[in-house]
Structure 1
Amino acid sequence: MNLDRRQLLLATGASAALTALPLRAAQASADVRAQALMDAIAEEYLLRSPESATGLGIDTGARAGLKARSSDRSSAGRLHSAAWTKSALDRLRAVDTAALSPGIRTDIEVATTAYATAIDGFAFPYGAVAVGGWRNGPYVVAQNMGAYLDVPKFLDATHKVATKADADAYLSRLAAFADNLDGETERLRDARGRGVIASDVLMDKTLASIKMTREGPAKDWLIVESLARRTKTIPGDWGARAEKIATADVAPALDRQIAELELHRKAANADAGVWKFKDGPDYYAWTLRAATTTRMTPEEVHAMGQEELKSLQGEMDGILKTLGYTNGSVGERMTGLGKDPRFQFAAGDAGRAEIMAMIQATIADVRTRLPRAFGAPVKGIVEVKRIAIAEQEGAPLAYGGAGTIDGSVPGRFWINLKDPALHTKYSLPTLTFHESIPGHVWQGEYAQKLPLLRSLMGFSAMGEGWALYAEQLGNELGVYDDDPVGRLGYLQSIAFRACRLVVDTGLHTKRWTRDYAIDWFARTNGSSVGEVTSEVDRYCAWPGQACGYKIGHSEINRLRTKAQADLGTRYDFKAFNDAVVGGGGVPLTVLAGNIDRWMVTRRG
């Protein structure tokens, strides 16, 4: 029988399709098994970190019991977390990824990378290890982390109180607050025995913050006032019950932790970097890898920061000259710009009100521009809140993130209003894009569309790299077309992250002192001393974390340039942005693979 070419193609195509049916069925079966494993691991994770369920708004139905539970912050809790993480990693590594569809394969790769990184962190017998997260640090308690800060803020801003059951769950978590504190105090005692002690300045800030949490009668504490305020329509004397727990249990636990921290303070010195630890170089290498999801060495990171800074300040130099700022370094001229009364907010509460109003106006404006940058936009539900006074001394200028999956709790843009002089009118729009939309709040809503295990994970390089890219989008969407000073604020913000690469590695590998780091940072970038002081102290408490920002941002731009060159007329700005943010939090190597696959689909 003779077959023409068309018949031959049809016949062979049909034969291939028949052959592919078992393969597709096998892949579907493998996908189902892999997804079931990831779902099981996610549920196990929530049992260990029930606050995550509340944060996502999924502590309902079968998970309702999680609302009354808290994480175990003790040494035993850390050991159990390490053992569970190893078990989860073993199960993930047993999956044959070659048999999976691309999407499920990516999910497994992301989870495996996150859990393997955490296991490496648990090998160090001290500090905080974020399983599938970014909040790693050598100190159990510091000026920017610890139950004394985390629990009151969480109970007030994240734990919903709408029913009697919610209020009862709040009280259960309040009672656990004392156990949280004592668990950390036990670990602080162990860390002191190992010589893992924060610097004298960090200890002073930490003690000042925790004493602020402790001061005054318990009835005035946020953990008591918040429940009393939110249960006015719920029968029961909730405020009195909360006050009783705070007085009988929480206050003594705070006192015990303060006493231990005072011992740390006596043993502390001025050494700021982790180089001072016996295994400091190895520890810093791990934190740098965890933050950047790369194998870059401290020397490479340091050099990258200097190169990026030189390029950015070259552009800033031209703009400054057009504005009449011609004398001195770029940093010196930006310092002068920051002191110009035209760009400063008023002092005190009047300035705080100006800042909040400007943030709201900026968010409203950028909403109108975002359809030009995204083909599949999310809602971008965001609430702007002031960082608590007890936290603001050790906090950064701002931070943000998404709310619950159902939108009942909005995403939050937390702004530090300790002193309005920390902010300038030309820098605030860029900060707003970073923390709210299209930055962290925006990004978080995309991540919540992913499988639960993926929603529970984050990577600094991707998360913060995207937030810097969000700042860039503000510029590309024309926000600064008629505002050269605003564009300087944007460029200074990007340069700020380049400086972080230099300062973080300087502190932890080149033995920079805190004072030198602050002076170099302020002088080089033209940022205020007040702003960079809290920044430098943050790098001391979270080694490596600050390096993820610029490295992630540069990688997103590298991939965009590659896509533009490879796709030519088939490149689409909105589709590229959708592909990057829609992939959720991933290591940078996985991001590159995601974009490579996206380019294949664009070629058709």
Structure 2
Amino acid sequence: MTVIFIDRGTFVKTRLTAAALLLAASALAGCATTAPVEPASAAPLVAEASPPAAPTATADTEREKLFALFKASDEASLQRNPLQALFRGDMRYADRLGDNITDAYFAAEKAAAEADLGALARIDRSVLKPTDQLAYDVFKFSTEDTLRGYQPELLLLSKVRPMNHFFGIHTFYPTFASGKGAAPFKTLTDYENNLKRHADFVTYMDRAIGRWREGLASGVVDTRLTTRNMIEQLTTQLAQKPEDSPYFGPVKQFPDSVSAADRARLTAAYRASISGQLYPALTRVRNFLRSEYLPKARDGVGLLSMKGGPELYRYQVQSTTTLPLTPEEIHQTGLSEVARITAEMEKVRQEVGFKGTLKQFFEHLRTDPKFKPKSRDALTQGYYAVGKQVDAKLPEYFSTIPRAKLVIRPYEPFREKFEAGGSYEQGTPDGSRPGTFYFNAYDLPSRTTPGMTTLYLHEGAPGHHFQISLAQENEALPPFMRFGGNTAFVEGWALYAETLGYDMGFYRDPYQRMGTLDDEMLRAMRLVVDTGIHSKGWSRDQSIQYMIDHSSMGKTDATAEVERYIAIPSQALAYKIGALTIQRLRKKAEAELGPKFDVKDFHAQVLMTGALPLAILEQKIDRWIAERKAA
């Protein structure tokens, strides 16, 4: 199951590994893609330097076997993971949430990965065309990584921590089922399916309690901090009257096709389900966490303090970055990037004539009223304006624009406190549901405006919206490439997209440039802080202070960031590692191709074959450079 958590900071990873929470929540909301290959009748995905040689019978045979494997693997995955299908707009399994928490589910995922690798090994890669070889390589890479996550020693560490405040069904499901999320409410069947999913949600919540109890018995427990945050999240939801909760939203907006009699029946059924099923389940989880789990949760916030944690973190680092990196290597890269970006910030401070120190300049940016949004509506209108400016520039840098529309809206109040500064939820491949850029308006006085352009470029266009939409709209790709992905590519592209603001001329204003440097600094600090927390024993307060000292982040944002790194170790490393790779490959292409370099073509090479593991992306760009030089 591919799960991707997309946001200004959020999460992404390939087919759910050990930590397989049903709800990679926003994750599923952001399923990205992973690689290329055209079906037998399609035109080449990317123009080749010279016409391909006529395929031999062996090549055709092996290609048919390869695509049959892709199709069978994807269909089996959709049956095991019905939400994955629903997010694509495939409603065949829409009456189920899925069962991503049981031993039977984990065994089925492991068996599927083993079977897929066995079938792949029986295909002769050497006779395949280059684009098909690329697909073969990505499928092999991601499936092997999935299988590593199901090693018994890793699975025992992850399955007993089924949710946390940043990654869990308890925060995903309310929006999903609200009538404003991914679940459709266009027909009577849609409304009936939602009630059936409510029952699955209740089952999941009770099974989560069982998993936590297993962890208590084995000594593998989550942090007190994360547990307290979950308790607060659940308490906030339960404080709402059933009729005011997101779960009641669908019956407030019936489509015309639902009769008056059905409306009355469904309204009563939804009210009963909320009061008699959902709220009691949420209450059971909240009370268990508060009375049984919290007293035994660990004080240490890093995996370093958890039984088996250091081994788990080393695996997560390599899985998230798709590269054979160690925590120490990443920590040192982070320190180097922090130093480089600090020097650029000093240039901005001098340019605007600020007389104090850089730290005083940070405080000036945090506190001066001219950098504060006046209201939630003003912030929303500001993002609309940024979007229009960016849209006008995009054709200069991209040869293909997504069909899917992009909408902009703030997080709902019930979840905004614990969300990142922004995030993206994918639309459907056919464009019937647009992509959504969410921004955070919680604690408005703590928000500042210089980073608005860079946040839009990252979460909206040409960041996540382009990368995810172009992949899933490309029917020439096999499904695992259209809808799969890895964090390093997905978030690396979005961070790279921020840098296009320089090319587009948006950062000539020094304060907007400071905003993008601040966001780049955030990604550099993540390398330092995430590894500091989980491999060096940094405390929560030490980590927050480091981020405040090296950027203009307010304490509210810095706290949310650090608590997120505590909840989902290694995910935050992907942004900078991925962006550094894409930036390095562009510089390499510019240097080697000179006047033959075309930025539109480079972007097509990066985007149009899905979210590739970084080493495979580099191999592809190297081949493209060689072909262009020879042309």
Query: Quick check: 2:342–2:550 contact (8 Å CA) kept in 1?
Result: no
- Given candidates 585, 599, 603, the residue that maps to 1:573 is 599
Distance (whole Å) between structure 2 residues aligned to residue 397 and residue 295 of structure 1: 30
- Given candidates 125, 144, 147, the residue that maps to 2:155 is 125
- Given candidates 245, 252, 263, the residue that maps to 2:280 is 252
Aligned residue number for residue 9 of structure 1: none
Report the AA paired with residue 191 of structure 1. G
Q: Using CA pairs under 8 Å that are at least 6 residues apart, name the structure with larger relative contact order, 1 or 2.
A: 2
Distance (whole Å) between structure 2 residues aligned to residue 520 and residue 470 of structure 1: 26
- Given candidates 30, 33, 47, the residue that maps to 2:65 is 33
Structure showing greater radius of gyration is: 1
TM-score, length of structure 1 as denominator length: 0.90
Deviations 1:521-557 (A, max 9, x none): 1111221111010000110111000000001000001
Aligned residue number for residue 459 of structure 1: 486
What secondary structure does 1:271 align onto?
A: coil
Report the AA paired with residue 516 of structure 1. Q
CA separation of 1:435 and 1:278: change in aligned 2, threshold 3 A? same
Aligned residue number for residue 96 of structure 2: 69
Report the AA paired with residue 129 of structure 2. S
Aligned residue number for residue 288 of structure 1: 317
1:167-178 alignment, distance < 5 Å: 167-178=191-202
Which runs of 5 or more residues in structure 1 are unaligned? 1-19, 130-137
Residue 384 of structure 1 deviates from its aligned partner by 1.6
Query: Quick check: 1:46–1:52 contact (8 Å CA) kept in 2?
Result: yes
Report the AA paired with residue 81 of structure 2. S
Does residue 511 of structure 2 align to residue 485 of structure 1? yes
Aligned residue number for residue 17 of structure 1: none
- Given candidates 46, 49, 53, the residue that maps to 2:78 is 46
What secondary structure does 2:414 align onto?
A: helix
Query: Quick check: 2:220–2:307 contact (8 Å CA) kept in 1?
Result: no
Aligned residue number for residue 308 of structure 2: 279
What secondary structure does 1:270 align onto?
A: coil
Report the AA paired with residue 84 of structure 2. S
- Given candidates 546, 549, 574, the residue that maps to 1:548 is 574
Deviations 1:502-535 (A, max 9, x none): 0000000010000100011111122111101000
Aligned residue number for residue 386 of structure 2: 362
TM-score, length of structure 2 as denominator length: 0.86
What secondary structure does 2:530 align onto?
A: helix
CA separation of 1:99 and 1:422: change in aligned 2, threshold 3 A? farther
Aligned residue number for residue 583 of structure 1: 609
Aligned residue number for residue 36 of structure 2: none
What secondary structure does 1:125 align onto?
A: helix
Query: Quick check: 2:65–2:123 contact (8 Å CA) kept in 1?
Result: no
Query: Quick check: 1:75–1:186 contact (8 Å CA) kept in 2?
Result: no
- Given candidates 523, 533, 542, the residue that maps to 1:507 is 533
Residue 589 of structure 1 deviates from its aligned partner by 0.6
Residue 475 of structure 1 deviates from its aligned partner by 2.1
Deviations 1:78-136 (A, max 9, x none): 3333333333333334433222222222222212222221222222134658xxxxxxx
CA separation of 1:44 and 1:127: change in aligned 2, threshold 3 A? farther
Number of equivalent positions: 565
Query: Quick check: 1:189–1:260 contact (8 Å CA) kept in 2?
Result: no
Residue 258 of structure 1 deviates from its aligned partner by 1.7
1:152-551 alignment, distance < 5 Å: 152-156=174-178, 157-231=181-255, 233-235=257-259, 236=262, 237-262=265-290, 263-328=292-357, 330-346=358-374, 351-379=375-403, 381-448=405-472, 449=474, 450-481=477-508, 483-551=509-577
Report the AA paired with residue 506 of structure 1. G
CA separation of 1:210 and 1:488: change in aligned 2, threshold 3 A? same
Does residue 590 of structure 2 align to residue 561 of structure 1? no
Query: Quick check: 1:380–1:442 contact (8 Å CA) kept in 2?
Result: no
Report the AA paired with residue 316 of structure 2. T
Aligned residue number for residue 11 of structure 1: none
Report the AA paired with residue 442 of structure 1. F
Distance (whole Å) between structure 1 residues aligned to residue 354 and residue 368 of structure 2: 12
Query: Quick check: 1:475–1:490 contact (8 Å CA) kept in 2?
Result: no
Aligned residue number for residue 45 of structure 2: none
CA separation of 1:229 and 1:194: change in aligned 2, threshold 3 A? farther
Query: Quick check: 2:590–2:597 contact (8 Å CA) kept in 1?
Result: yes
Distance (whole Å) between structure 1 residues aligned to residue 481 and residue 158 of structure 2: 21
Report the AA paired with residue 292 of structure 1. T
Farther-moved stretch of structure 1 (205-214 vs 531-540): 205-214
CA separation of 1:125 and 1:327: change in aligned 2, threshold 3 A? same
CA separation of 1:389 and 1:87: change in aligned 2, threshold 3 A? farther
Q: Which has the higher helix share?
A: 1
Report the AA paired with residue 322 of structure 1. E
CA separation of 1:276 and 1:216: change in aligned 2, threshold 3 A? same
Farther-moved stretch of structure 1 (282-291 vs 417-426): 417-426
Farther-moved stretch of structure 1 (453-462 vs 362-371): 453-462
What's the RMSD between the two structures over aligned residues? 1.8
Query: Quick check: 2:221–2:306 contact (8 Å CA) kept in 1?
Result: no
Query: Quick check: 1:225–1:239 contact (8 Å CA) kept in 2?
Result: no
Residue 370 of structure 1 deviates from its aligned partner by 0.5
Which runs of 5 or more residues in structure 2 are unaligned? 1-52
1:43-122 alignment, distance < 5 Å: 43-59=75-91, 64=92, 66-76=93-103, 77-122=105-150
Query: Quick check: 1:413–1:436 contact (8 Å CA) kept in 2?
Result: yes
